[in-house]
Chain A
Amino acid sequence: MIIDCDANATYAPDERIRGVISSCLESLGNPSSLHRGGQRARAALEEARASIKRVIGAGNRDILVFTSGATEANNTVVAAVAGRTGAIVSASTEHHCVLQPLRRIALRGRAVTFVSPNGDGVITAESVAAVVTPDTALVSVMAANNETGVLNPIPAIVSKVREIAPRALIHTDAAQLLGKGSLSMKDLGVDLLTLSAHKIGALPGTGALCIRDGVHIEPLLLGGSQEGKLRGGTENIFGVALFGAVAEMMTADLPARCERMSALRDAFEEQLMHALPDVAINGRGVARLPNTSSVFIPGVRADDLIVAMDLERILISSGAACTSGKPEPSHVLMAMGQEEERTRSTIRVSFRADLSLEMVPRVVRALTNAVTRMRQVMRNGHRGTYVE
């Protein structure tokens, strides 16, 4: 049995989700076709759109555009303001799919300011307000951080920004918040909001950008007139239909899900701190996602720990997923002012709602055993000076 404690990387579909997959297959077709095959696909597409808008508390006239994922949605936002004037404000803790497109336009001469978080990883409304000016064109701050789970005070940021720069577009990447906390486009007050389907158990390669009524942006992908001419390309109808179905399912018992996840997370942190008193949990004192624990474990290499845990069939991560075997230090933890060495000893444990509470002691025990073993290896066979 595999114990999956890496839900923030991707949320593998559970049995209930698998149960609706075949019905979503029924909707396969080209929504732009006039015939009944097309009509069926079109109906499924609009059904999913309505579901997701309901789930994220979007207004009736707000526009939800399906994309190939959060990365495309975030790139769309950056590309949309690239052609306008005015400075851009974002945060140094954002996901790379916000940071990289912003860095590119910064290299081309655009003024982009990345706000640093406080020591807990929070981007405060004050720190954003301090750099916003009346001609700021875009403010983009994520709702919840993927590595630490720390929540940013989006409504407070929005109200500060509106005071200073009424014309600025305000965007939040809510990929990690969906399914792990209440999410309301209206309450957040943003103009643009990014979603990802696979973070809640639907398919990778599916996402959405919600655009508040009255906000106009240029499409990133030009092609046919799909998605109200806001995103060319035949819709990923299977992925979108599943996204809609899973979003509905997940929202129906959201409070109970969150409760289960925070019970897992709290038990994990309590037991781990008992077993290894020198660990430190990032952002423990501030509002966080209920499922995420970012743990600094002195004297071990996070990447080795991930391998050791995987060999025990327990999946964890060291922050952002990396396939190259050449892990960069976490830019999120570095932005929080931590030393590189500390970031390389930090793991991320992110729980699924359906993990049994009885598994937590097993996870803690495996982690403790591996850490104890590694510290022993470090002591006895010090790298480079190979002590007998």
Chain B
Amino acid sequence: MSSEVAEKITPKSMTDRSIVVAMSGGVDSSVAAYLLAKTGAQLVGVSMQVWDYKKSCSDNSKATCCSPADFNDARRVAAKLDMPYYVVDFEAYFEREVINRFVETYQLGMTPNPCIDCNSRVKFRELRERALSFGCSHIATGHYARILESADGFHLLRGVDRDKDQSYFLYTCRQDELGKTIFPIGDYTKSQIREIAREVGLVTADKPESQDICFVAGSVQDFVAKIGGRRQRGDFVLKDGTKIGEHEGVHRFTVGQRKGLNIGGLSEPLYVIDLDPSSHRVILGSRDDLKRESFTVREMHWVNPRLIKRIGVGESSFELDIIVQVRSRHHGVRARMKVLDKDTCSFTWHDEWAAISPGQAAVVYDLQNEELLAGGRIAK
């Protein structure tokens, strides 16, 4: 939906209570709500019921966030800030758009990033649509990222706290979405956020950090096996095909992985350098075997307004020096990006290189490593 439509269907009488705040029950979204409430904005707190932990884990208490107990925390924060609060059911939608893709990607021998799917397919579409239904024009989340409005459009920047920056997960945001989204905590560091929460007396102030993947309570591998329902043992092999061991299934591995292989007695450390789901083989090699001179990224999303314009007028085959980040916990390294068409780019490393995992997001930043320009999925 375009922003004009959002504008039109938001009656003037409602403009003073037009922000839906996504609340997980954690400290970040709690403080996000507090910071907005302080500005006098009228807010509507929403928690998204996305996953029934009983489906994947017998022990509900292991849930890392978005459990009923977390919602009660969110409810208490909302009550303290005197804002209405609702739990909204997204389960069927989340299962289809996030969980199923997560499991399938692993089974294809690739590494998924469910947080990106959740943002692009659930938060910035489904939640935004609900917000519009409720008569709210904007959504706010507790992401560590910043949005800067300028004459040519909206720019997505890394959060001030580089250790916590979550812009990587937001590369699918479109201009109309950025224009209707607020990241209230992007200008703060995590310790400042905790400090604010303690000062204000929010019940979530000292809650532990949530884990990487919110819907997985135990190990990712067990989750994939349980939900995916397929377990196929296979061989560990070296590049030349020599079998050196057996494993419990390719879904348990990620390209670049070194730990947890349980193979010893070799002189140099072994890495997963490739996965072959059809033969159930996990191919191992040295760190140098992970090196790719260049790699291709598909399903490109363009975020920076200038690049959107260049792509929009059909310009292709241009090259840019950029910083590319290839995992969520990767600082980003310099590379040359060659735009092949609006959906596809290839990347060539400058001097430093990083191990890449097909399926993961490659996210492009400017050379200051500050503004997110574009992103896509690393091709196999």
Contacts and interface: CB of A to CB of B under 8 A. Distances in A.
B68 interface: yes
Nearest to A306: B86
B97 interface: yes
B84 A383 contact: no
A304 B133 contact: yes
Contacts of A381: 1, 5, 125, 128-129, 132
Interface stretch (B44-52, B100-108, B248-256, B321-329): B44-52
A377 B49 CA distance: 21
A380 interface: yes
B238 interface: no
Contacts of A369: 11
B97 A373 contact: no
Interface string B77-90: 00000001011110
Residue among A327, A381, A383 facing the most chain B CB atoms (10 A cut-off): A381
B17 interface: yes
A377 B2 CA distance: 11
A358 interface: no
A307 interface: yes
B89 A326 contact: yes
Contacts of B87: 324-325
A85 interface: no
Chain A: interface size category: 20 to 34
Interface string A346-362: 00000000000000000
Chain B: interface size category: 20 to 34
A374 interface: yes
B91 interface: yes
Given A324-B68, A373-B9, A386-B125, A308 B134 contact: yes
Contact of A377 (B11, B71, B91, B129): B129
A373 B88 contact: no
B134 A304 contact: yes
A323 to B, nearest CB: 8
Contacts of B97: 384
B133 A311 contact: no
Interface of B: 1-2, 5, 9, 11, 14, 17, 44, 47, 49, 52, 68, 71, 84, 86-89, 91, 93, 97, 121, 125-126, 128-130, 132-135, 176
22 contacts: A304-B130, A304-B133, A307-B44, A307-B134, A308-B135, A311-B84, A311-B134, A324-B87, A325-B86, A327-B89, A369-B11, A370-B133, A373-B9, A373-B135, A376-B9, A377-B9, A380-B1, A380-B5, A381-B128, A381-B132, A383-B93, A383-B129
Interface of A: 301, 303-304, 307-308, 310-311, 324-327, 369-370, 373-374, 376-377, 380-381, 383-384, 386-388
4 closest A-B pairs by beta carbon, nearest first, are: A325-B87, A381-B1, A325-B49, A377-B132
